[in-house]
A and B are shown apart, each in its own frame.
Chain A
Amino acid sequence: MKRFLYTAGGKTTLFLITVFSVILTAVFSIAAGAMIGQGFYTQSKAQMTNRVRTELLEEYGREIIYHKLGFHIDREIPGFDWLLWGEDGKLIAWMGDSALSEDTGSDKSIAENWELHYNVARDADDRGSIRSVIVYDPDDPPVFEDGSKNYSVTLFLRDDAETFLPFRLFPKLIAAGYRLRYIVYLLILLFLLTGIFSFVGLMCVSGRRNGQEELFPGPLHKVPTDLLLLLTLLPATLLYISLLEEFSGSGAAFIIPACLGAVPLFLLLLSLSMSIAVRIKTRTTMKNTLIYRILRVLIRGLRALFTGISYVVRNTPLIWRTALSIVLFSALELFMIVNFGGSRTDVLFSFWLFEKILLVPPVILAAIALRRLERAGQALASGNLTGKVDTRGLFLNFRAHAENLNRLSGTISEQVEERIRSERMKTELITNVSHDLKTPLTSIINYSDLIAREPCDNPKITEYAEVLTRHSDKLRRLIEDLVEVSKASSGNLEVSPEPCDANVFLSQSAGEYAERLKNAGLTAVVETQPAPVMILADPRRMWRVFDNLMSNVCKYAQSGTRVYMDLALTDTGVCMMIKNISREPLNLSPEELTERFVRGDVSRSTDGNGLGLSIAASLVELQGGTFQISVDGDLFKASLCFPLLLPGDSR
């Protein structure tokens, strides 16, 4: 169905259905209107038949009188014979044999006969020729010299009269109308609905083609909407109105040219609707108008003009701007005074001069002061806190404002210094603590080592010294890591990123750890990318990250398994991943693993302090990367993701 409607044939069919539905709706509506006018809904069939019959007969009688009295012609009424009687009962004229049969006793058969009475007035000129004949209502007689007379007409319907005579036909028409008088509304509704549906369908299919999503506007689409309507609808409407005016005097027949003229107008409207439907669908109804285009050009021009003017004004120094404005306004004032001052020009001129002498110096001074304040504000905004505004020569509010600015810069620089001092103190504290911890530790390590070296008979001393050495070494690593953690997490760690190749990180780590992995019974499987994958990272910090990760692998991976180190390119960057199978069940969540002092082995039997992953995570994040741990059963995966450095990127 849809496929058919999208073809040209389908569209034509819809178009024709719409046209015929609308025409039929109009026809039936007119019929319904006529039926209302004729009283189909207020009178019974018999009443109507009688009324129409009486009206027809009266019309016939009137015709006969008019023709006979006005033009001395015997009017022939098809199917009828007639007699015309004067006021005095004298037979004036007749038509047909049957009319006389009553008197003559002729056997010519007559179906029915009627006698009709008329009041007739005649208006004759001086020579007695008739100017007009009027049949009138006895309650409202016209005033003619001739006065009024009563005439009567006897009409005989001949038995042999043809059946298609209007007089014979109208009862059948009335009967048919009676049968149809309610159905006609149903028909109106039916065709109206058909029309609406096919119209909507037509609007939907216009611009569409089979199997294609986009719209295909017709050649009319290029014409702006308003121009199209102006060029087609306006002349067509005017033409139609002039047509109506032409036929406005022709009574009931007026309806025929009105209807016929409406058909082409309707066809035009329908075609325009299709074009506008496409415009609505492509959302170009408003944009594709001449008015819109003109307005847009105008607005653009105005905007450009405004931008230009404001650019010139903004780039003129404040003092120059002020001076220029003063000169311009003064000149304008002077011009006005000279031209329109009249007899008072000299007085006005002296006032003008006095005002300028009084006002110009303060205005210029204010401009200079403003300029100075502006410069100070700019300096403050760009972070220069040392410059002070020179308050000499500034007056009133300008001086107060300048002093405020100076006070503001003082406050800010104090706070900045305070902040820098506290930052420095924090860094110094960390460094000093580490130094102060390390100095005694150095002695502890050295001397426990010396004890161990000392030849001794007591094996217990050797054992104790060994314990001392081992634990002091552990303490050393813990202190180093603690310092690192506090620096990394407080942001007190310098990071100097350089372009690095992510592939190289993996192969170098694998190379550095080749021996230790082998000792732990692990095989490294390194999958790198054929082309360099550049990222921004600090090599030293990255080594610390990989060092921690790889030493974890050596410590916690199940011996005899493989360690996978590979690169995955994502839309936004690159992820370096290290995957291994844990020896112990990992019953900790990834979040817990990166927490400080949490270790994969709950027994804490292996050597390590639980800071490794926390440091790695902090360091990666300091370098602008993301560090993620995931645990899937015994599979432990660490991924380091960094944004890709594109060839054109600067640091």
Chain B
Amino acid sequence: MVNILICDDEKDIVNALKIYLSDAEYHMIEASNGKEAVEKVRQEEVHLAILDIMMPVMDGIEATAKIREFSNIPIILLTAKSEDSDIVLGLNVGADDYITKPFNPVEVSARVKSQLRRYFILRGGTASEETLSVGGIELSDRAKTVTIDGEPVNLTPTEFEILKLMMKNPGKVFSPREIYQEVWKEPALGSENTVAVHIRHLREKTEIDPANPRYIKVMFGRGYYI
């Protein structure tokens, strides 16, 4: 049994989330503001929290910071898209992921599932020497396999090489030209679009929402990075 805390001042949204996440495995705990949420996490055994950012009494960011003082459960923030500065702040104080309002039901359950998988199965730091791991992605060069939060993903050899290149250098921005030259091992003569298409496919396979990638990020006008 997994306990999920859903915290939003809008009752209807809490209800909708409950319906989307209705699963035999999950048990929902409700809260209507940040303060309540922190108390619930403290008192009951909560495995994952979904917190709205804009709430009365205590907002989601503050609640995240408070929860992080005593717990390392996955926290997903709920936010309206235009408040991207809030997202950055939330991730910095300890949130693990975020969902933008209005949300897509499939996306919500996928994110919840992914966070729970990492929390229970991986618990971080199981990477061996042959495997590269960044966030929830693990890449085994020997077995030529890639898993996202423990779920295996099917990649073509080119996609695998691109992913490997970027995972070896996390944070480095690769221009399409550099990627082409590294992966195809030949000078890029106007073949940069091919790289962009491959990256797009790679994102579709690895990301829950390819338009808002969490792993393979697009630095538009410069390149790609993990």
Q: Which residue of A lies closest to B12 (CB)?
A: A443
**B196 adjacent to A514 (CB under 8 Å):** yes
Q: Does A192 touch B at the CB level, under 8 Å?
A: no
Segment with Cβ contacts to A, from B120-128, B159-167, B217-225: B217-225
Q: Does A325 touch B at the CB level, under 8 Å?
A: no
Min distance, Cβ A620 to any Cβ of chain B, angstroms: 13
Q: Does A336 touch B at the CB level, under 8 Å?
A: no
Residues facing B in A486-509 (CB within 8 A) are 487, 498, 500-505, 507-509
Residues of A close to B10: CB separation below 8 A: 439, 442-443
**B200 adjacent to A515 (CB under 8 Å):** yes
Min distance, Cβ B114 to any Cβ of chain A, angstroms: 21
Q: Which residue of A lies closest to B102 (CB)?
A: A442
Residues facing A in B189-207 (CB within 8 A) are 189-190, 192-200
Mostly helix, strand, loop or mixed at chain A's interface?
helix
Residues facing A in B151-190 (CB within 8 A) are 175-176, 189-190
**A447 adjacent to B16 (CB under 8 Å):** yes
Given known contacts A501-B175, A512-B196, A528 and B190 CB-to-CB distance under 8 angstroms: yes
Residues of A close to B208: CB separation below 8 A: none
Residues facing A in B1-48 (CB within 8 A) are 10, 12-13, 16, 19-20
**B223 adjacent to A514 (CB under 8 Å):** no
Residues of A close to B16: CB separation below 8 A: 442-443, 446-447, 450
Most buried by A among B102, B105, B221: B221
Q: Which residue of B lies closest to A511 (CB)?
A: B196
Which of A438, A500, A501, A511 lies in contact with B102, CB distance below 8 A? A438
In the bound complex, CA of A508 to CA of B81 (Å)? 23
Give the interface residue-count category, chain A: 35 or more
**A450 adjacent to B221 (CB under 8 Å):** no
Min distance, Cβ B36 to any Cβ of chain A, angstroms: 18
**B222 adjacent to A500 (CB under 8 Å):** yes
Q: Which residue of A lies closest to B9 (CB)?
A: A439
Segment with Cβ contacts to B, from A3-11, A78-86, A306-314, A536-544: A536-544
Contact with B along A428-468 (1 / 0, CB 8 A): 00110011001101110111011000000000000000000
Min distance, Cβ B100 to any Cβ of chain A, angstroms: 9
Contact with A along B46-80 (1 / 0, CB 8 A): 00000000100000000000000000000000001
In the bound complex, CA of A530 to CA of B177 (Å)? 10
**A504 adjacent to B192 (CB under 8 Å):** yes
Q: Which residue of B lies closest to A537 (CB)?
A: B221
**A438 adjacent to B80 (CB under 8 Å):** yes
**B82 adjacent to A508 (CB under 8 Å):** no
**A501 adjacent to B196 (CB under 8 Å):** no
**B220 adjacent to A511 (CB under 8 Å):** no
In the bound complex, CA of A449 to CA of B20 (Å)? 10
Q: Does B144 touch A at the CB level, under 8 Å?
A: no
Q: Does B129 touch A at the CB level, under 8 Å?
A: no
Given known contacts A434-B82, A438-B102, A511 and B222 CB-to-CB distance under 8 angstroms: no
**A539 adjacent to B219 (CB under 8 Å):** yes
**B102 adjacent to A507 (CB under 8 Å):** no
Q: Does A373 touch B at the CB level, under 8 Å?
A: no
Q: Which residue of B lies closest to A484 (CB)?
A: B82
In the bound complex, CA of A546 to CA of B80 (Å)? 23
Which of A439, A480, A527, A539 lies in contact with B220, CB distance below 8 A? A539
In the bound complex, CA of A431 to CA of B220 (Å)? 25
In the bound complex, CA of A449 to CA of B109 (Å)? 15
**A511 adjacent to B197 (CB under 8 Å):** yes
In the bound complex, CA of A439 to CA of B83 (Å)? 13
**B13 adjacent to A439 (CB under 8 Å):** yes
In the bound complex, CA of A514 to CA of B226 (Å)? 22
Residues of B close to A526: CB separation below 8 A: 190, 192-193
**B221 adjacent to A511 (CB under 8 Å):** no
Q: Does A483 touch B at the CB level, under 8 Å?
A: yes
**A500 adjacent to B193 (CB under 8 Å):** no
Min distance, Cβ A120 to any Cβ of chain B, angstroms: 125
**A507 adjacent to B195 (CB under 8 Å):** yes
**A528 adjacent to B218 (CB under 8 Å):** no
Most buried by B among A511, A532, A540, A542: A511
Q: Does A641 touch B at the CB level, under 8 Å?
A: no
Given known contacts A434-B82, A443-B12, A446-B16, A528 and B200 CB-to-CB distance under 8 angstroms: no
**B101 adjacent to A507 (CB under 8 Å):** no
Residues of A close to B102: CB separation below 8 A: 438, 441-442, 445-446, 476
Residues of A close to B193: CB separation below 8 A: 507, 510-511, 514, 524, 526
In the bound complex, CA of A431 to CA of B79 (Å)? 12
Given known contacts A435-B54, A543-B218, A508 and B196 CB-to-CB distance under 8 angstroms: yes
Min distance, Cβ A162 to any Cβ of chain B, angstroms: 112
**Which residues on B are within 8 Å of A, measured CB to CB?**
10, 12-13, 16, 19-20, 54, 80-83, 101-103, 105, 175-176, 189-190, 192-200, 218-223
Contacts A438-B102, A442-B16, A511-B176 given; 18 further ones with Cβ under 8 A?
A434-B80, A439-B13, A439-B80, A439-B101, A441-B102, A442-B10, A443-B16, A446-B105, A447-B12, A498-B222, A500-B220, A502-B221, A510-B193, A511-B192, A511-B200, A515-B200, A532-B175, A543-B218
Pairs A-B, 10 closest by C-beta atoms? A511-B196, A500-B221, A446-B16, A507-B192, A539-B220, A543-B220, A442-B102, A443-B12, A514-B197, A511-B197
User: What are 8 of the A-B contact pairs (CB < 8 Å)?
Assistant: A431-B82, A443-B10, A446-B102, A450-B19, A500-B220, A500-B222, A511-B197, A543-B220
